Amino acid sequence: MTTPSQTVGPFFGFALPYAADWELVPEGHPGAVTITGRVFDGAGEPVPDALLELWTGEGGDRGALGRGGSGVSGFGRCGTAPDGSYRFRLAPPARPYAALLVFARGLLKPVWTRVYLADTPDPLLDSLDPVRRATLLAQAEGQGVYRFDVRLQGEQETVFLEF
């Protein structure tokens, strides 16, 4: 008898974000990459009150909550800015992708997706037509920066997953 989901609502900002939550690795970590982008609604407007969580699948040796010091964590959290933007700094994941969860007011349950850092043969990617596939591919912008936008609804809607 599973407990039902409810929306995260608009007022989590004083509770869920924590210091260095988006920094899975500290600044200057060798080989670190940054995933950044914006979250948009069905009207193409930015979503300024979403909460994103990223999980690489690898626990690592840095606290997931109490960051402090060096090392690598596999988990990060980031609330969107007024322009809908977010960012994560991480070590390149062992898999071709990182798992991404998006919570927001108006989402009665979160959406699960994946950020692929490379367009590589993959059972999920290969099951999608080119337009849908492209929604899961982060765009390299140089200097270890990857852009990944989340479109919750509409023609370019991001592929969301159910497990």
Partner 1 sequence: MTHPPYLHPDYASTVLRAPSRPPLQMKEDPEAAELTGPVFGRGEVDPLDADLTAGHAGEPLGERIIVTGRVLDASGWPIPDTLVELWQANAAGRYAHQRDQHPAPLDPNFTGAGRCLTDGEGRYRFVTIKPGAYPWRNHPNAWRPAHIHFSIFGTAFTQRLVTQMYFPGDPLFAFDPIFRSIPDPAARERLVATFDLDITEPEWALGYRWDVVLGRTPMEDA
36 or 73: whose CB is closer to partner 1? Answer: 73
DSSP for residue 126 = H
CB of 3 to partner 1, least distance (A): 5
CB of 144 to partner 1, least distance (A): 20
34 or 157: whose CB is closer to partner 1? Answer: 157
CA dist., res. 47 & res. 145, Å (int): 22
CA dist., res. 25 & res. 32, Å (int): 7
CA dist., res. 135 & res. 158, Å (int): 5
36 or 116: whose CB is closer to partner 1? Answer: 116
Binding site for partner 1 (CB under 8 A): 1-16, 41-43, 45, 47, 49, 53, 55-57, 59, 63-66, 73-75, 93, 95, 97-99, 101, 103-112, 123-124, 127, 152-154, 157-163
> Pick from 104, 83, 96, 100: which is nearest to 24 by CA?
100
31 or 123: whose CB is closer to partner 1? Answer: 123
Give φ, ψ of 126 to 5 degrees. Answer: -70, -15
Cβ neighbour number for residue 76 with a 10 Å cutoff: 26
CB of 136 to partner 1, least distance (A): 10
